[in-house]
Each structure stands twice: as structure tokens, then as C-alpha cells.
Structure 1
Amino acid sequence: MKNQFIKTKMPMQSVSALTAMMLFAVLPVASMASPELEYLKGKWRTRPVDESQGETSRTLMKRIPALVRDWSGRHPWQVVKAKVFAYLCERSAIDVSELDWYPAFADWTFAPRTSSHRRTRSAGNPVWAMVAARKNDVLKGLDPEYHRLRKRGKGGRWNTYHDFDHSAPDWDAIIPLGFTGLAERLEANLKDTDYYRARQIAADGVMSLLRRFVETGERRLSALPAETPLKRKMRLRKQTESLRRLSSGAPQSAYDVLNFIYIFWCMSEQFEGIQVRSLGNLDRLVAPYYLADVAAGRTTEEEFREQLVHFWWQWGSIDNYYGQPLYFGGTKADGSSEYSDVSRIMLEVHDELALPTPKLHLKMGATTPDWVWRKSLDMIRRQSSISFIGEEPHKRVITAMGYTEEQARTFMLWGCYEWAIRDSANDIFGAVVNLVKPIEEMLNAAESGRFEAGDFESFKSEYFRRTSGMVSDAMQCVRKGEGCRGEINPSLLFSIATEYSVKTGLDAITDGTANGNHTGIWMVGLGSAVDALLGVEEIVFRNREMSLAELGALMAANWKGRHDLRLRMCRSPRKWGNNDPSANAVGAEIVKKVFVPVNGQPNGRRNGQFKVSGHVARWFLGMGQHTGATPDGRWKGDELSKNISPVMGADTEGATALISTVSSLDVRDLSGDFPLDVALLPGAVAGENGLMLLRTLIKTYFGNGGLVIQFNIANPETLRDAQRHPEKYENLQVRVCGWNVRWNDLPKAQQDAYIRRAENIMR
């Protein structure tokens, strides 16, 4: 079916294909006209919809709660949600502009950034507000044991929440079907149940929205002033034609594919409150369509580049704090690389725009072309938002879990840099566990005489017991609460897009995928925990400088009166990240004793299993704020280490020692993901030698089993100057965890941490 659509020749209306090519051939990316650029920058912030074409967010914020109250008394919840979705498709304000290649809708999008540097989703968004209210109602009715367990996690010990932020459709499967094909497949499987009634209502809503887009585009075309530049007329005409094709069949061009992905994403995120955490293997998905377009004379590279610029800017304007992921590359069944000329074009567009989002995951394998290495490594020297993904180490992890070689070859990348089987990307966050908190609690108990240990092995044994208990509580809480996910926010589009869900009538976000339904247990502060444990060993058991109770009192006093000792512990080389044998052994011991028993355990009603993850998102900041001072020299409230990386600034022995440290872990024990953050100075990676250094580091890391590696490349002088003169560094970005942020959006305390790490590299 896919090849049939690719080869279809689409007639131009009123203007010949040759004229269209001439129009766009004179429009390089860098010189995009300012009205277009201003429109794109403000699109998701200034609500550029035609208020005559539907209800705006101001009206909908009042209307939707009233409709929910009315419908809830007469319909089951998933039908109520579907009716809200359809109402938004049919009644919300939309627009189709000559300044943009993609339609405008969901005008409530994102409120201004808050003090936490995140845009709020529920403020002004009727769907997220509806889901939040529903969640509160559902959680009240859960087993009291769920609430008791949640209380045991408070105070920074562990946490959980109901995650609707991690799902993605199998783009390879649904693009050849298009919206109409998905609706037809649903209709062929209809049964007389609430699941199917709800999805049928949603599918009808999708088709209604597409028809409205076409009608709006046609109306806009007929109303364009005669003096409108021909290029803008052509853009609006092509957009309307694409929307018409999507309303009646599958995507037929590269532009149709981009439009399909964009519209699906917007409907899922904005009309039903379920995030789409991957735009797919975009270069590979688009390449055959683009090549067919060029061969048939339907487009030019220049036009395609502009469509990509506008596509990138949708998420540049939304500016989601965590970034919108997509990925490139991979390996074909015959062993050759999936990278292509389309990959090159997309990388160049990403480089030229220098936006923090979308963010790129690059699959790197044995046949990845040299030009991909050179281009991408040069980009990260300029802080581009890229993470490098090892294909071979992923294959080892995925097949070890029982998946096939083919599933391992075609694995999807999504979220910050997690992996999933392509038809089953619903593996969600379950709980996050603070590995440092038990040390704080043990020292507090020692101070009050409630705990003592005669030697370091005894101290560690108690640490493992307490930490394992926290993990057990978190898992049990997840089992008690996770099954209600579909009662809170049942997935509509994601279910329609998932063949297994459509055939079984199981909600795709809950348990409706054939090869997924897994739940992540995240560990926060591995490096901090290692360093703190070694601090206890050094101060109490090796040097015998004070008793365990006295150390507990000093930590409770936040190092008051012992600045000398704190500095000494900060500067100790016995830290995670320096390839210290003791640190390496303790880190491996934590993972083996606490987390290996977690992998593969059943996760409850979702009928999947738990997977341990080294990824922490922003929890290294939040958990750190609730953690007292620690014997490694850390102040109360300071951030913890993130991912499997060292404490910020503790790795003073260079990148080779850092990679050797994390290689002491077995990546199969952290099957969720295994991400490493590396900080380097610009001078170390300058020129050809710098490119070779980066390439060698990445290949060494992958060769030792690492899954994901990402970089911060900056010198402390630049960062300090950017702190003093932010107006000079509007485009400076840094890597936080699995995403980039602009330097100027970071709080000063976080900026200071990046400066400290850069300074330590210079020692």
C-alpha cells in the first residue's frame, strides 16, 4: 500500500509544478521572510486562530466542565472523554494560514513559564484541567493501602504519579493507513462495548476536524488579497491540498507525512491529554516519499527544507521544557545504514535553527556513515540537542529480555532517550527512588541512639535493607494504583493507532499493546549514594575521626563548624566517576543488591513487568531539595547526581576514567535505560583531533555496553560571562538530562553547578 501511495502523481491546481519549484528554489532556510518567522515563533503562544471558526480557549474552559458534568450522569467515563474530544474537533477555533505549512488549532496551548521554568499544561487547557479533576476523583476511591504506601514515600524517599506522558504510536504501521485507514480498521473490529463506542466517537471527530481544515483552507484561499505574494498563495494552496488528501486517504507525499504526524500529535496532546513522546524515525519514514516526490517533480529540496523548518518550529514555539523527541538512522535488514540524503537535510535544518526542541536521538551502529559522525559531533560542539544511541548494546539488552532480533533491530526511541518495541510504546514511569535518603535516615538514627554499626560492612548491609524496603514499597504502591490509569485518562487516538488494542478492546495506554505494558522504576542519586557511603567509611570507620552519632549530628547541622572537613570530602578522589576501585565496587553492589531483583517482576493489572532505569529526568533536583547534608561534602538541599553520571564536578580524572567507572555496571541490570552525561572543555574537542576524541569516547562507551551518551561542552569563563551578561547569550544551551534548555532559562543555582563542573575539568 505504501509504495502505491508514493508513486501516485498529484496534480497541482492552478499553478504548475514547474512554477512551484521555481517559487521555492529561491527561498533558502536562513532567509525565511520575517512575517513567516514571527508567525511561527508566536504560533503556540499568541493563539493565531480564527475566532469566527469556532470556540476559543476562554469559552471552552467554561464549556467543557459543564459538558462533562452533564454527560457524566449519562455515559461511562471513556465515552464522556470521547465526546469531549469530538466536541473539540468539531467546535474549537482553528485556522489555516498562508504564513505556515501546518494548520493552527488548540489555541490554549502553553501558559508563560513559571518559576520552576516549566510551562503549565492545565492553565487555560480544558482537557488537562478535566483530566486533573478526574484523577482526583478516581484516586479517592483507591484501596486505602495505596494512600498509606504513598505517605511512606514522602519527604523525598520515593515518589510516584500517574504517567500520561510516555506513549507513541507505531508510525511505520499507521502512516500507510492514514486517518481514514485507521477509521476503517476500527470499524472492521467494532463490538458493542464502551471501548469501541468511545473510539468510534473519537474517529468521527478526527474526520470532522480534517474536513474543517479543508473548508477553512479553501475559504482562506478565496479571500487572499490579489497582492498576496505568489509564494504564500502557493503555500496555502499546497497546505489545503494536503489536508484534503489526509481527509480522504493515506499520506501520498513527504509533506503529507509531516502534516499527518503533526496533526496526530496535536490532537493527542491537546485534545485528549496524552503526550506523544516520539515523532518517529523521521528520516527513514519520510525518505521514500521525498525521493518519489523529487523524481515526479512534485517538490524541490528547497521547498522540502522550508516545510521542515516550519515543522521544527511548531515545537520550537511550543517549547515544552522536556523537548519533543524524534530519531534518525538505524540499520536495515541487510546490514546497511538507514541514514540517507534526507537525514543529511534534516540534520542541516536542525543545525541551522539551533532550537532546544525538537531534540534528536541518533542511532549509531557499525555501518553509520562517516559523514553522520562528523556532522553530528560538530553539532554537539555547538550545544545542539542530541543524544547518541548505541545500536549494538541496545540489541543485547532487548534480546536479553526475550524480544526477537528483528524487534531489537527496529526498536523505537522516545521520551528522553528510552527504548520501546515499535508496536508497543506504552512503557510508563512507575516510581522514582532516592538512593541517598536511607543514608540520611541512618545517620539521623545514629545521632539519636536508634542505630549503630560496628563496621562499614554492617552499615552497608543496613543501607541495602532500607533501600530495598523503599523500592518494595514503591512497587507495591504502583501495583495498587496503576491499574486505574484507563479510568482516569483512557487513550483514544493511541488506542485507535494500536492494532492490538483495536482487536482486543484493551486500552492502549494501560494494557493494550502486544509487547509492552511495562513500568519503569527510576533510581536517583547513584553517584551521590556511592560518594556518601564512601564518606561514611572514610570519616567513621577508616580514619575514626568521629563516631557515627557525631557524624549524624554534623550532617543535621549542615556541616556547621567543619568547613575544613567538608572541603576535604568534596575534593576526595574516591568518588563515582574517577575509576576508583572502591567507588566502582560500591556502585555495582547497589545495583546488584537493590535493583536486579526488581527487573522482570510483574507490575500488576497492566500485565507487564518492571524495568529499572538509570534515567532520572528532573528528580535529581527535586529529591535533592528534600535530602539533608551528606558525608561526601554535599550541602543540605543541593542537587543529587543524575542518571548514571557522577556528582556534578566530582569526576576530576577525565572522560576515560568516567567511562571506565560506568563500565563497572552491567547494562542489563538497568534495562530501562543507561544514560551517561559527559562534560568536556571546548579546547579538548576542537579541530579534527577533537572530533576523533569524541568519536573514540562514544565508541568506547558503546563497546563497554553503554546505551546512551550525551555531552555538555563549555568552558567556565563562557558560562560565567553568560551569567553576568545574559543578553549576549540568548542561544546558549546546556544539557540538563535528556533534553537541552537555554542557559538563560536556568535558575542561578543550577547555572552555578554547571560552572563548578566545568571548573573541575580544568584542574
Structure 2
Amino acid sequence: MKDTDFKELSPRVQALKEEILSAKPCIEAERAVIVTESFKETEDKPMILRKALALKKILEEIPIAIRDRELIIGTMTKNPRSAQVFPEFSNQWLVNEFDEIGKRKSDSYMISEETKKTLLSCFSYWRGKTVNELATGYLEPETRDAMNANTFTVGNYWFNGLGHYVVDYEKVLTKGIRGLREEVEQQMATASKADPSYMEHMKFWEALLITFDGAVTYARRYSALAKELAEKEKNPERRAELENLAEICAKVPEYPAETFYEAMQSFWIIQLVISLESNGHAISPGRFDQYMYPFYKKDAAEGKISHEFAQELINCLWVKFNDLSKIRDYVTTLAFSGYGMFQNLIVGGQTRDGRDAANDVTFMCIDATGEVKLPQPSFSARVWTGATQKYLRHTARLTRLGLGFPAFYNDEVIIASLVSRGIALEDARDYAIVGCVEPQAVAKTDGWFDAAFFNLARVLEITLHNGKADGKQIGPVTGDLEDFKNIEEIIAAYKKQIAYFVNQMVLADNCVDLAHRKRAPLPFVSSLMDDCIAVGKSIQEGGAHYRSSGPLGVGVANVGDAFMAIKELVFDKKMLSLRDLKKALETDFGKQCDDEFSKKKYEKIRLMLINRAPKYGNDIDEVDYYTREGAQIYCKEVEKYTNLRGGKFLPALYPVSNNVHLGDQVGATPDGRYSHSPIADGVSPSRGMDVKGPTAAASSVAKLDHMIATSGTLYNQKFSPQALKGDSGLDHLISLITAFFAKKGMHIQFNVVDKDTLLKAQQHPEEYRDLIVRVAGYSAQFIILDKDVQNDIIARTEQEF
């Protein structure tokens, strides 16, 4: 959909975007070689120093490139949209998938035979030394059994490095690396040798100084390359651009930025250094409009920059975000389909002292998202009671472009939720979103979001089979389905199963947490996170001011609809016996029966469960209550636990795109869902069940206790483009958002695309390269998504006002 409020891209940015869209992602081995060489050279040193020296060596030696026409420079790979390998976290899965990774249905990567040979040589050193292997070694048999039964997975940090944070970009921009160095040296000079932890602290601070040297060298390498290219450049305009970049990279991030352009380039160098240190994703820019605005304001007031050039710089940076990529094992890819990097950038909301935060850079960020039209950064907008109509309408205009941006977040709920968890009010007001939907206090939080995917629907299935999974007793014995006398007894059994499997999930998370502490401390990231420098500890050791773990529950609507269907049809109206329900579930509603009579009988039961019981998403109090109850049972159990870093486990309710894959691991459920089909997306109603319009659906979702799910909730709605046409369409959308937030909803996001367009894109992908859709807590090119994920998006209810 076109919108006159968003301009066409300049030829420069259009060319840079085309390079991203036409790229064929490949796997590059340079980082793997360098980190392996470094670790071979430092086996006699403490791990924190080994990690620091490895990063320094990477920053000194990894190939660098400046692409044609770029105004913001720096890349992790020689080839666009490609990926480096991080063997210190895990690598055996990649060996197992060498021959298939280029043939995947989504997120495929080319890999040459030479690269395979190089990586195999590197991997031989890491055998027995990876984070993944150590974490696996800590797991107890019962925990492994629970994971193997698909009740939860901790694959994100089990295989990969850490991410999901917003570091203190503002400190680097205003103080430079030199300012950070002075802060560390002051701590070293005043440290007491009487402190039993003195040597540990000293080695940590020493490690930070090593990484600072690496970061400065890295920027200077780009300065030298820009100068070299300028000397060869025939075009005088491009030569001047390269000479300017050479000067900027000789200065930042070593020294404080003084101009908007310097601040932009300094930011991007820091983003790359963090990404090269660890292959964690969701390394999020956070409140970009807040820390960039002072530089723009000063330059604009002094006549040093035009609005047009500032917009061009931001547009160029928006393209650069899409140059970063990450390879994942195939199973994890099913949860993160679409080359997702989840670099969440949020605008608007309130200042730390409670004033409206929207500014000129806020609107330029909105414009950049609407003009560039690429999946990264994952763009978000904070909404509060003091938001202006100008801001609300411009974000609404962006929504109806159909990119899935922005995701909207409710300040009134999120700030209160964070404060209830011990976050200071000023820090809570300064929250940003990382990854999909996860709120955190900026530059102070090591939140371990996506710590685990907990399959609520699978635990419900196990509950209805008396603690058995696939015939094996995997959970506690809580009663045979046929013996329950009322829905309260079933819910009580579900609660006991949840308690058991949440405990196992926590044990698994703590095993992975411990492995990262032992083998993968991150000194550079820690230097940009309060209070690590002050206390002399990495984030893995609990150095961050706020420390939490955020496992997420998936299948909220399935649980609520199942409870309601059993209560309504079995216990209240007695239309169905528990014996027949049990048999219907065991046979996948007759699909596994041989005779036609049984097939028809159990399919009839499925249709009864769907059509004769109220469904979550239609503003019906009773079923909404049971959905809330099912979610709360999980959340209240999670919040009982403390993690290894001295913080609390804080629950979340969102799936990334894993509702499709997790559904494949669950048998038939009493909401009428066939086995192996997707489970519900986030806190959204089940596909096609919200039939009374967007306002009724939003009212149901708002009845959940969003405040308790401090690590985030995710709510998707889908509209046809026709529904949002004209001023009235914008008015309806803004009214829906503000009404949902007034009822204490936490988050809402929209796909604005019709079913026919999506079906055509499946048939003719080459004609729809620019089609960006909202998957879950992120957007992606529709044509590169796994087909099952595509089908899930197509099947979502298409709302009309």
C-alpha cells in the first residue's frame, strides 16, 4: 500500500537495499579461524582474559569491507547478509547440517567445500570445550527426560551466545572508549588488595581494557580502508564521502562524538563489536531517538546538518541493520524463521522524569521504517496517555503500509510491571524492548529473555494423560481423565504438572547459565552494562544492576479454550463423556481409526468442541477467565524461582514463530485442534476463533494479567488494507490501540495484508520480494519464511471494523 506521508528512497539507499534483497547468504569462516587460533595461544590464562584477547584478535584481523555508496560503514562479513561462525558456543549441529543448510525451506546459507574443510579443522580444537557441551553435562536425567518430552526447550542459549540486551550506547557516544577506559582505570587504582576477590576483579578490568584496544583498532582499520579507497576513487563526490568517513572513524568511537554523523557511525561500530563478541541475537538499539536527538538538535541549530541529509543517514543505517545475519540449527530456525536478528529499536513514550519523549529523530525513525521497508530494525513505538495525536497518527500511517511495524507498547502497564519487580521508577520509565516484546531497563539489565520456550499445550496434553507422554510416565501422577468430577479437578491436575515441568525448566536454564559463566563471559558487553565496571564482574557473574531470566509460555488460548470446552460440554451440558473425549483425543479425532463409523463419531466430537463451546477472543467473560487462569498458573509458578545471577525468573507469554513448531510436538487437544497443527500465537486467540471483530478480540486479550508477565506478552491482529483506508481507517486503528491499552493490554501489533496477496506470494515469490509481514515479535520477508509459518499467517483471522 502506498502512503503519501512516506517518500521514495534516494537512488543511493535504493541501491543499498537492492544489494540486501538480492544477496545470497553464505557462511564465512574467518572469525572461527581467528578465535580458535587465539584460544590455542592463551590456554594458560583466565577465561575472561582469553575471551578479551580473542575479541581483540578478531577485531584486528577479520576481513573488513566498505560497500559501494555506503554512508555508514562496517560489516561482519565480506558478502552481504552473510554469517560468521562462533564455534566456542556450539558447532556439532553445523557439521551435521553441512549438506542440508543450503537446501533449507527457510534461512538457508550457501557453504563452500573449502569453508567446510576450514571449519572442520577449527571444530576439532573445540571438542569438549564448548558452552553447549558443558551445559549438557550439568543436566540431570529427569530434566533431560522433560526436554525430550517436548515440554520445553532451552535451545536459544544452549547453542548460542547471549543477546537480548540494550547496552549503554549513550555513554560511548558522549564519553568515547577513552572515557570508559578512564572509568576502568579509576576502579583499578582504588581497588583494595584486602578484598578476597581482588585478583578476579583485576583480571576482569584488564580484560575490558584489552577489548577497548580492539574496538579502537577496528575503527581505525575502517578509517584506513576509507582513506585507501578515497585515493583510488574517480568520482569527486564519492571521494569526499570516503575522506569524511576516514576522518570520522579515526575519531569515533575512541573519542566522544561531536556531530550527528559521528554519533551514527560510532553507534554502528559498537553494534558490530558486540555482534562479533557473541552470536547472541536481539542486540537492540533501544531508545535510539533519545540518545541521538541531542546530536541532531545541536547540528541543526548550528546549521551543520539538513533534515534531508540526517534522514539519508538514518535510512542508510536502516539498511545496514539488515546486513547482519546469524546461522542457527535447523530446529531453532523453525522458531526464528526469516533470518531474524531482532534488533529492536523503540521510539516515543516518556522521559525518565515522565514527560513526552517524542522528538524530531522520533519522526525520522518512523519515516525511515516506512521508506526503507526492510525487516530490520524491528521497529517499536511506546504509547502513553501524554502521546500527541501527531505521533499516534504517524505511527498509524506506518502500520497501514503493511510491514508489521510498529509494534505498540503500553507505558502504563509496562512501567508499573517493572516497578513491581523492583525496578526504580526512573529506570522503568526509560525502558526499551529487546528481541520480540521484552521490556527492560536500558543499559542496566541482563534479562536472559527467550531463556526457554515452555509448551503449555503439551503440558495440558500430559495432564490429560495422567502425567504420561507417549506412554511414558514423565510427570507426576495426577489422575486419569475419566475420573475427574469437575473442571476444577482438571485445572488442579494441570497446576501440579505445570509446577513439575517449570521446576525442570528452571534447572535446565540454570545449567545453561552456569555454562556461560564458566566458558563464555563477555567483557566488552559487560563494560557497557551498569554496574559491571563498578563491581568488577561480568554480566555472567551477576554484574548487571538488574538480573533476570525470562522463559516464555506458548499456547495460552489452547489451554483456555480446552478448559472451557470440557466444562461446557462435559460437566455443564453433559453433551460429551470424558471417556469419549479421551478416545477422540487418542485417535486424533478419528484420523487414526480404521472404521468409518469411528472416524465420523470422533470428527463430530471435534466439531462439537469447536462450535458448541465459547471461544477466547470474543469478549466472553467465562472463557476469558479460564484462559487467564491457565496463563496465570504458569506465570505464578515461574516467578517463584531465582536464577544463578541472583535475579528472579520473570515470565513471558509469546512464541517468536515457534507456535508452529511447538504445535507439531503436541497431540490433539480439547479445543478441537488436530495433533501436530500449530498452537495459538502469543496471547492471541486461536486462528479463526475470534469471530466478533477486533474490539471484542482485544477486550478478551486485555482480560489476561499482563502485569504479571513482566518479560512480555505478544498480541497479533490482522486487517485487510481496505479496513484502514482514509482518515477514518486511521481513527479506528488509533481508537482500538488506545482502548486496548486503557483496559491494561501490554502490547499489540498488526499485519495489514489480504489473504489473496499472501497466496499469490507463495505461488510467485519472485514478484513479492518487498512483501514484509509480521510473523510474531518481528517482521520478515514473507517469501523466505518456512511454508508452515506462511500458512499460519495466512490462516489468522482477517479483521474488519
Superposed pair shares fold, TM > 0.5: yes
Once residues 694 and 644 of structure 1 are traced to their aligned partners in structure 2, the CA distance between those partners, rounded to angstroms, is 19
SS at match of 1:596: helix
Once residues 119 and 408 of structure 1 are traced to their aligned partners in structure 2, the CA distance between those partners, rounded to angstroms, is 39
Once residues 51 and 353 of structure 2 are traced to their aligned partners in structure 1, the CA distance between those partners, rounded to angstroms, is 45
1:218 is matched with which residue? 227
SS at match of 2:493: helix
1:634 is matched with which residue? 673
AA in 2 matched with 1:291: K
Matched, 1:372 2:342: no
AA in 2 matched with 1:317: D
1:541 is matched with which residue? 571
**How has the CA–CA distance of structure 1 residues 460 and 196 changed in structure 2, closer, same or farther, with 3 Å as cutoff?**
same
SS at match of 1:284: helix
Aligned counterpart in structure 2 of residue 455 of structure 1, from 482, 486, 489: 486
Residue 393 of structure 1 contacts residue 703 of structure 1 at CA under 8 Å; is this kept in 2?
Answer: no
**Following TM superposition, by how much is the alpha carbon of 1:490 offset from its aligned partner in structure 2, in angstroms?**
0.8
Once residues 512 and 277 of structure 2 are traced to their aligned partners in structure 1, the CA distance between those partners, rounded to angstroms, is 25
**Following TM superposition, by how much is the alpha carbon of 1:528 offset from its aligned partner in structure 2, in angstroms?**
0.9
Residue 165 of structure 2 contacts residue 283 of structure 2 at CA under 8 Å; is this kept in 1?
Answer: yes
**Following TM superposition, by how much is the alpha carbon of 1:520 offset from its aligned partner in structure 2, in angstroms?**
1.0
**Following TM superposition, by how much is the alpha carbon of 1:45 offset from its aligned partner in structure 2, in angstroms?**
4.7
**After alignment, is 727-736 or 650-659 more displaced?**
727-736
2:435 is matched with which residue? 415
Residue 478 of structure 1 contacts residue 603 of structure 1 at CA under 8 Å; is this kept in 2?
Answer: no
Residue 714 of structure 2 contacts residue 747 of structure 2 at CA under 8 Å; is this kept in 1?
Answer: yes
Once residues 32 and 278 of structure 2 are traced to their aligned partners in structure 1, the CA distance between those partners, rounded to angstroms, is 14
Aligned counterpart in structure 1 of residue 415 of structure 2, from 388, 395, 409: 395
Matched, 1:432 2:453: yes
Matched, 1:693 2:732: yes
AA in 2 matched with 1:244: A
**How has the CA–CA distance of structure 1 residues 477 and 725 changed in structure 2, closer, same or farther, with 3 Å as cutoff?**
closer
**Following TM superposition, by how much is the alpha carbon of 1:232 offset from its aligned partner in structure 2, in angstroms?**
1.0
2:51 is matched with which residue? 81
Once residues 277 and 107 of structure 1 are traced to their aligned partners in structure 2, the CA distance between those partners, rounded to angstroms, is 17
2:531 is matched with which residue? 500
Matched, 1:254 2:263: no
**After alignment, is 471-480 or 575-584 more displaced?**
471-480
SS at match of 2:10: helix
AA in 1 matched with 2:426: E
**How has the CA–CA distance of structure 1 residues 222 and 44 changed in structure 2, closer, same or farther, with 3 Å as cutoff?**
farther
SS at match of 1:338: coil
2:360 is matched with which residue? 341
2:40 is matched with which residue? 69
SS at match of 2:708: helix
Once residues 263 and 703 of structure 2 are traced to their aligned partners in structure 1, the CA distance between those partners, rounded to angstroms, is 43
Once residues 669 and 335 of structure 1 are traced to their aligned partners in structure 2, the CA distance between those partners, rounded to angstroms, is 23
Residue 370 of structure 2 contacts residue 401 of structure 2 at CA under 8 Å; is this kept in 1?
Answer: no
2:153 is matched with which residue? 159
2:548 is matched with which residue? 518
| TM-score, with length taken from structure 1 | 0.87
Matched, 1:576 2:616: yes
Residue 167 of structure 1 contacts residue 277 of structure 1 at CA under 8 Å; is this kept in 2?
Answer: yes
Residue 164 of structure 1 contacts residue 273 of structure 1 at CA under 8 Å; is this kept in 2?
Answer: yes
**How has the CA–CA distance of structure 1 residues 135 and 248 changed in structure 2, closer, same or farther, with 3 Å as cutoff?**
closer
1:528 is matched with which residue? 558
Once residues 622 and 783 of structure 2 are traced to their aligned partners in structure 1, the CA distance between those partners, rounded to angstroms, is 38
Residue 45 of structure 1 contacts residue 317 of structure 1 at CA under 8 Å; is this kept in 2?
Answer: no
Once residues 163 and 13 of structure 2 are traced to their aligned partners in structure 1, the CA distance between those partners, rounded to angstroms, is 35
**Following TM superposition, by how much is the alpha carbon of 1:359 offset from its aligned partner in structure 2, in angstroms?**
1.6
Aligned counterpart in structure 2 of residue 684 of structure 1, from 714, 723, 731: 723
**Following TM superposition, by how much is the alpha carbon of 1:523 offset from its aligned partner in structure 2, in angstroms?**
1.1
**Following TM superposition, by how much is the alpha carbon of 1:300 offset from its aligned partner in structure 2, in angstroms?**
2.1
- In the TM superposition, 1:570-609 aligns within 5 A as 570-572=610-612, 574-599=614-639, 601-609=640-648
Aligned counterpart in structure 1 of residue 131 of structure 2, from 132, 135, 139: 135
**Following TM superposition, by how much is the alpha carbon of 1:288 offset from its aligned partner in structure 2, in angstroms?**
1.7
Once residues 78 and 223 of structure 1 are traced to their aligned partners in structure 2, the CA distance between those partners, rounded to angstroms, is 42
**Following TM superposition, by how much is the alpha carbon of 1:222 offset from its aligned partner in structure 2, in angstroms?**
2.1
2:425 is matched with which residue? 405
**Following TM superposition, by how much is the alpha carbon of 1:37 offset from its aligned partner in structure 2, in angstroms?**
5.1
Residue 548 of structure 2 contacts residue 649 of structure 2 at CA under 8 Å; is this kept in 1?
Answer: yes
Residue 519 of structure 1 contacts residue 610 of structure 1 at CA under 8 Å; is this kept in 2?
Answer: yes
Query: Deviations along 1:305-353, whole A, 9 cap, x unmatched?
Result: 2211211111223364243211111223665422122222222122111
Residue 170 of structure 1 contacts residue 423 of structure 1 at CA under 8 Å; is this kept in 2?
Answer: yes
Query: Deviations along 1:700-756, whole A, 9 cap, x unmatched?
Result: 111111121111222323333333333333222221111112221233333333333
1:194 is matched with which residue? 203
SS at match of 1:180: helix
Aligned counterpart in structure 1 of residue 170 of structure 2, from 155, 172, 178: 172
Once residues 620 and 41 of structure 2 are traced to their aligned partners in structure 1, the CA distance between those partners, rounded to angstroms, is 64
Once residues 32 and 423 of structure 1 are traced to their aligned partners in structure 2, the CA distance between those partners, rounded to angstroms, is 34
Matched, 1:753 2:758: no
- In the TM superposition, 1:281-300 aligns within 5 A as 281-300=287-306
1:381 is matched with which residue? 400
Residue 85 of structure 1 contacts residue 272 of structure 1 at CA under 8 Å; is this kept in 2?
Answer: no
Aligned counterpart in structure 1 of residue 276 of structure 2, from 266, 270, 278: 270
**Following TM superposition, by how much is the alpha carbon of 1:44 offset from its aligned partner in structure 2, in angstroms?**
9.4
Once residues 721 and 141 of structure 1 are traced to their aligned partners in structure 2, the CA distance between those partners, rounded to angstroms, is 48
Residue 540 of structure 1 contacts residue 548 of structure 1 at CA under 8 Å; is this kept in 2?
Answer: yes
Aligned counterpart in structure 2 of residue 118 of structure 1, from 98, 107, 114: 107
* Runs of 5+ unmatched residues, structure 1: 1-26, 48-56
**Following TM superposition, by how much is the alpha carbon of 1:407 offset from its aligned partner in structure 2, in angstroms?**
1.9
Counting aligned pairs with the same residue, the percent is 21
**Following TM superposition, by how much is the alpha carbon of 1:572 offset from its aligned partner in structure 2, in angstroms?**
4.5
**After alignment, is 427-436 or 104-113 more displaced?**
104-113
1:359 is matched with which residue? 378
**How has the CA–CA distance of structure 1 residues 615 and 37 changed in structure 2, closer, same or farther, with 3 Å as cutoff?**
closer
* Runs of 5+ unmatched residues, structure 2: 1-6, 84-100, 189-197, 326-338, 472-478, 591-598
AA in 1 matched with 2:177: F
AA in 2 matched with 1:433: F
Once residues 95 and 435 of structure 1 are traced to their aligned partners in structure 2, the CA distance between those partners, rounded to angstroms, is 46
**Following TM superposition, by how much is the alpha carbon of 1:172 offset from its aligned partner in structure 2, in angstroms?**
3.0
**After alignment, is 325-334 or 279-288 more displaced?**
325-334
Once residues 296 and 584 of structure 2 are traced to their aligned partners in structure 1, the CA distance between those partners, rounded to angstroms, is 65
Once residues 434 and 255 of structure 2 are traced to their aligned partners in structure 1, the CA distance between those partners, rounded to angstroms, is 27
Once residues 434 and 731 of structure 1 are traced to their aligned partners in structure 2, the CA distance between those partners, rounded to angstroms, is 33
Residue 444 of structure 2 contacts residue 530 of structure 2 at CA under 8 Å; is this kept in 1?
Answer: no
Query: Deviations along 1:583-638, whole A, 9 cap, x unmatched?
Result: 11212222344422432x34232101111111222331221111011122211111
Once residues 59 and 594 of structure 1 are traced to their aligned partners in structure 2, the CA distance between those partners, rounded to angstroms, is 43
SS at match of 1:419: strand
**How has the CA–CA distance of structure 1 residues 473 and 171 changed in structure 2, closer, same or farther, with 3 Å as cutoff?**
same
1:486 is matched with which residue? 517
How large is the RMSD of aligned CA atoms in angstroms?
3.1
1:20 is matched with which residue? none
Aligned counterpart in structure 2 of residue 714 of structure 1, from 735, 744, 753: 753
**Following TM superposition, by how much is the alpha carbon of 1:101 offset from its aligned partner in structure 2, in angstroms?**
1.7
**Following TM superposition, by how much is the alpha carbon of 1:446 offset from its aligned partner in structure 2, in angstroms?**
10
**Following TM superposition, by how much is the alpha carbon of 1:693 offset from its aligned partner in structure 2, in angstroms?**
1.0
Once residues 699 and 113 of structure 1 are traced to their aligned partners in structure 2, the CA distance between those partners, rounded to angstroms, is 45
Aligned counterpart in structure 1 of residue 605 of structure 2, from 546, 557, 565: 565
**Following TM superposition, by how much is the alpha carbon of 1:219 offset from its aligned partner in structure 2, in angstroms?**
2.1
Residue 415 of structure 2 contacts residue 429 of structure 2 at CA under 8 Å; is this kept in 1?
Answer: yes
Residue 98 of structure 1 contacts residue 233 of structure 1 at CA under 8 Å; is this kept in 2?
Answer: no
Matched, 1:729 2:725: no
**After alignment, is 386-395 or 400-409 more displaced?**
400-409
Once residues 34 and 333 of structure 1 are traced to their aligned partners in structure 2, the CA distance between those partners, rounded to angstroms, is 37
Once residues 354 and 185 of structure 1 are traced to their aligned partners in structure 2, the CA distance between those partners, rounded to angstroms, is 40
**How has the CA–CA distance of structure 1 residues 36 and 550 changed in structure 2, closer, same or farther, with 3 Å as cutoff?**
closer
Residue 251 of structure 1 contacts residue 257 of structure 1 at CA under 8 Å; is this kept in 2?
Answer: yes
SS at match of 1:741: strand
**How has the CA–CA distance of structure 1 residues 113 and 667 changed in structure 2, closer, same or farther, with 3 Å as cutoff?**
farther
AA in 1 matched with 2:82: F
SS at match of 2:547: coil
- In the TM superposition, 1:294-309 aligns within 5 A as 294-309=300-315
